[in-house]
Amino acid sequence: MIEHSNESQHDVAEPVRAAEAAPAPDSVQRAPAPVDTAIAAAVGTNFSVPPSTPRVQRMAARPAGASDAPAIRRAPTDVIRRKGDNDTGLPDSLKAGIERLSGFAMDDVKVHFNSSKPAQVGAHAYALGTDIHVASGQERHLPHEAWHVVQQKQGRVKPTTQISTPVERDDALEAEATKMGDQALNG
């Protein structure tokens, strides 16, 4: 697994105000599934999850061959990095597009490629706070998951009451993540 990190965290502009953000309807939850204990420990395991706890958002697995998102190519890992370079794991053009559309800096994002964790929650990829976990070969989900990071930075993800792990499955937030992720990638 290749991990990229950047410890700095800065907002580029003011966050979207509640009045400007689309209201999210009640969340639809998946039935509890076996979860890695490290994930459970990271997000908490009780019924009362504090609002400040990061939420896992994931894109449901699609049938084979059903992809409407463009492929994302990762930069080679042997590229020499200079101070100030993008070391989040997000492609430069996607990172710039997300920042332009959202007004949030994405320098604190860390993409975990070839991660086994998405399979543990029945997904190809998921976002938890500023961490994006992507299963092997599923980089095409990066735009969608990057927008979930924005939604979490905006405070628009509702807490869940699932005992295993808080998995957000709000259809409006999912549709927005797909649309805005595609816009960020395609300009």
Tally of structural domains, the chain: 1
132 is in which domain, residue-wise? 92-185
pTM above 0.85, yes or no: no
| Mean predicted confidence (pLDDT) in 48-72 | 57
- Is residue 29 in some structural domain? no
Residue found under tokens 């299963």: 135
* pLDDT per residue as tens digits for the range 99-155: 999 999 999 999 999 999 999 989 999 999 999 999 999 999 999 999 999 999 999
Q: Does 162 reside within a domain?
A: yes
Structure tokens at 134: 């992507």
CB 186 within 8 A of CB 53: no
Residue 8 in domain: no
Q: How far is CA 124 from the centre of its chain?
A: 11
Per-residue tokens: 124 = 């190809």
pLDDT on residue 133? 95
By the 10 Å C-beta count (0-12 exposed, 13-18 middle, 19+ buried), 1 is classed as exposed
Tens of pLDDT, residue by residue over 10-19, are 444 444 444 4
3-state secondary structure 116-156: CHHHHCCEEEEEECCEEEECCCCHHHHHHHHHHHHHHHCCC
pLDDT of residue 170: 87
pLDDT at position 146, please? 97
Q: Is residue 110 part of a domain?
A: yes
At 187 the pLDDT is 81
Instruction: Specify if 85 maps to a domain.
Output: no
- Region 18-35 average pLDDT: 43
Average pLDDT over residues 53-58: 62
